[in-house]
Chain A
Amino acid sequence: MPIIQYRQALNQALREEMRRDENVFLIGEEVAYYQGAYRVTEGLLEEFGDRRVRDTPISEEVIAGIGIGAAMVGLRPVVEMMTVNFALLALDQIVNHASKLRYMSGGQISVPMVIRAPEGAGMQLGAQHSQNLEAWFVHVPGLKVAAASTPHNAKGLLKSAIRDDNPVIFLEHELLYTLRGEVPGNDYTVPLGQAEIVRQGADVTLIAYLRMRHVAQKAAEMLSQEGIEAEVVDLQSLRPMDLETLVTSLRKTHRAVVVEEDWPQCGVGSHVVDQLQYHAFDYLDAPILRVTSEDVPMPYSKDLELFALPDEAKVIAAAKHVTYK
């Protein structure tokens, strides 16, 4: 199987979907001539022209609005927000419009739009360029939220998102773009709403997504050397969330740690813990712990940034805590 980068996998998904469906087009800041701020749209202007790969002014609100309006009348826009931080300028369109046009109209409207947004920290970009805002979108009924963590699921999830008839917030992690992995050259999808069991284990379930999948995986390998076998589950979709896979895992391990790069208050893990305490209460042998970013704006200085982020050591400590080791 070909081994390619995460960004190339996303590029493949876009290219294949654009070839498959004339209604799919790309729009955003620097997606065309610059080839994408993270080079995800490389070569697409050349193949599809500027009718279908469209650079915009720096105007996030109208970029999102163009996606919504075009989707309402039958196109399938893939909107790129250069980073999730800039998507905040488009929240009125995303939250007040995209998510609820179908409901407010009594089911008359579909908004088959994807908003791609890179997020995450770790490159010393400072407080305004290092955020993980998934919880903001996961909170909103009417939106779907996907989170790509590997080249394989990046391609498969993006294809599912493009084919979905709802607005999908598609989150990518800025530190993963050069990650390499096996990606089938053919057409395949990873369904929205399905978690992936990354590693089997019987002692504790580590629930993660985006870059934290890899942190959890490394932590699991290290725990294994100490005799603790962790099961690692990658959520892949944050809304809808695959609770069944989580509950099934918990029934086996009886202990769980959620590993997430967002902030602790009302983060994605808050919802995971809420659902698990309700649906798997009788199976729990320890309180579920969460490993999150520290509850501060992201500092610039390298060591401070590292302190602020979840890492393997923090995950291992939490796993030992819930296994009483």
Chain B
Amino acid sequence: MVTDSEKLDIYREMVLIRKFEEKAGEMYEAGKIRGFLHLYIGQEAVAVGFMAPIRADDYVIGAYREHGQALSRCATPREVMAELFGKETGVSRGKGGSMHLFDMSRRFLGGTAIVGGGLPIAAGVGFAINYREGDQIVLCFFGDGAVNEGAFHETLNIASLWGLPILFVCENNMYGMGTAVERASAVPNLFQRAQCYAMQTESVDGMDVNAVLEVAERTIATVRATRRPVFVEAITYRYRGHSHADPGTYRTKEEIEEWRRRDPIVHYGEVLLKEGILTPERIEKIQADCEKEIEDAVEFAEHSPYPKPESLWTDVYA
């Protein structure tokens, strides 16, 4: 059961990610952030919902739209914003950038910008857990594009064959860059792509954090208890483009509006209002607090030093 205070935390975390991403978009426009920037706006319920039942000694691996996962798992807005600014105080010391957030001390393993690239690595971490007879699990996030990569199929096969403790979470946000899922996958229900590997599959409304929480708790417990992988497809939507360079020519404003009406934060706020856990004043306070925290993160990033030139040559080899 989720306690009232946990519900507030979940709400607050989704708001924090939203505010962070909106600010990151602004900072990109202002030229403070360069490179590719893939925003998580609209998908917050997925990261927050799956991270809630995960233990500190479990492992989490993401792809390149991973700000939300990093923030939800462990990283502070300061560390992530500083990384986006390319500063030495960033979570990856300014050497990773938006797509390469890592925090090994808190078992957040990145941060990879090759579609599907994190899955084989998740298999390795799962293998190591079994090798040491641990009871941890690996939470592995990837997008709908990844299911069309060979790495996906090699990994799911071996994970099932060897009983690797991995929860595969496919965030189906309906588009791999500008290509709609039904234009890329012969089977539009992506959970079906995992079914031939003899593993439990689920599909969940990724815009409803309560639904995500329920599936997350159940599947995480299953993976932990059975030492078998489980595959979950979370149906979600990104409001912004694939990256900041996205012209958005492949979908209509009406479609985006339709999804916005199912906004996970608004929706969960209404649920908590009804339950009497939140009040309109409290919502305003949470929004204001999060905004303040993000302002502080920008301030911190702005005033942090850039990596020293000599750091160019460090960290190539151990």
Chain A residues with CB under 8 Å of chain B are 25, 51, 56-57, 59, 61-62, 64-75, 77, 92-93, 96-97, 101-110, 112, 141-142, 144, 165-166
B117 and A97 form a contact (CB under 8 A)? yes
A-B pairs with the 8 shortest C-beta distances?
A: A69-B124, A65-B120, A106-B93, A105-B102, A165-B318, A62-B154, A107-B315, A59-B154
Which residues of B (62-112) have their CB < 8 Å from a CB of A?
A: 90-96, 100, 102-105, 109-112
Whole-angstrom CA separation of A142 from B114 in the bound complex:
18
Q: Roughly how many angstroms separate A106 CA and B318 CA in the complex, as a whole number?
A: 11
Q: How far is the CA of A62 from the CA of B154 in the complex (A)?
A: 6
How many Å lie between the Cα of A108 and that of B318 in the bound state? 10
Q: B92 — nearest CB in chain A belongs to which residue?
A: A106
Complex Cα distance, B157 from A22, in Å, reads 27
In the bound complex, CA of A107 to CA of B96 (Å) = 10
Nearest residue in B to A51 (C-beta to C-beta)? B131
User: Which residues of the other chain, B, contact A141 by a CB distance below 8 angstroms?
Assistant: 316
Are B120 and A68 touching (Cβ within 8 A)?
Answer: yes
| Min CB–CB distance B181 → chain A (angstroms) | 23
User: Other CB < 8 Å A-B pairs besides A93-B121, A106-B91, 13 of them?
Assistant: A57-B158, A69-B109, A71-B124, A74-B128, A96-B112, A97-B112, A103-B315, A103-B316, A104-B100, A105-B92, A105-B96, A106-B95, A141-B316
- Report whether B59 and A73 are in contact in the complex, using a CB–CB cutoff of 8 Å: yes
B119 located at the interface, meaning its Cβ lies under 8 Å from any Cβ of chain A in the complex: yes
Chain B contacts with A in 114-133, Cβ cutoff 8 A: 114, 117, 119-129, 131
Q: Which residues of chain A come closer than 8 Å to B221, judged between CB atoms? A: none
B198 at the interface (CB under 8 A from A): no
Q: Nearest Cβ in chain A — how far from B311, in angstroms?
A: 9
Q: Interface residues, chain B, CB within 8 Å of chain A?
A: 59, 90-96, 100, 102-105, 109-112, 114, 117, 119-129, 131, 150-151, 154-155, 157-158, 161, 314-318
Other-chain contact of A65, B90, B103, B110, B124 (Cβ < 8 Å): B124
Q: Is the CB of A102 within 8 A of B317?
A: yes
B121: chain A residues within 8 A (beta carbon): 65, 68-69, 72, 93, 97
Chain B residue at smallest Cβ distance from A67: B124
Alpha-carbon gap, A69 to B119, bound state (A): 10
If A66-B123, A70-B128, A75-B128 touch, whether A101 touches B151 (CB-CB below 8 Å) is no
Contact of A105 among B104, B117, B129, B154 (CB under 8 A): B104
In-complex Cβ contact of A70 among B131, B161, B316, B318 (8 A): B131
Complex CA–CA separation, A77 to B158 (angstroms): 17
Residues from chain B with a CB closer than 8 A to the CB of A57 are: 154, 157-158, 161
Chain B residue contacts of A101, Cβ below 8 A: 102, 110
In the complex, the answer to whether B124 meets A108 with C-beta atoms within 8 Å is no
With A66-B127, A70-B124 in contact, do A142 and B154 touch (Cβ < 8 Å)? no
Q: Is the beta-carbon distance between B316 and A142 smaller than 8 angstroms?
A: yes
Across-interface contacts of B129 in A (CB, < 8 A)? 73
Given the known A-B contacts A66-B120, A142-B317, are A61 and B154 also in contact in the complex, defined by CB atoms under 8 Å?
A: yes
Given contact pairs A62-B120, A102-B316, A106-B94, A70 touches B102 in the complex (Cβ within 8 A): no
A96 and B150 CA atoms in complex are apart in Å by 15
Query: B318–A166 contact, CB under 8 A?
Result: yes
Check B120 against A64 for contact (C-beta < 8 Å). Answer: yes
With A67-B124, A97-B112 known as contacts, the answer to whether A62 contacts B92 (CB < 8 A) is no
12 inter-chain pairs at a CB distance below 8 angstroms, sorted by A residue, are: A59-B154, A62-B123, A65-B155, A66-B120, A70-B127, A70-B131, A104-B96, A104-B111, A105-B110, A105-B315, A106-B95, A107-B315
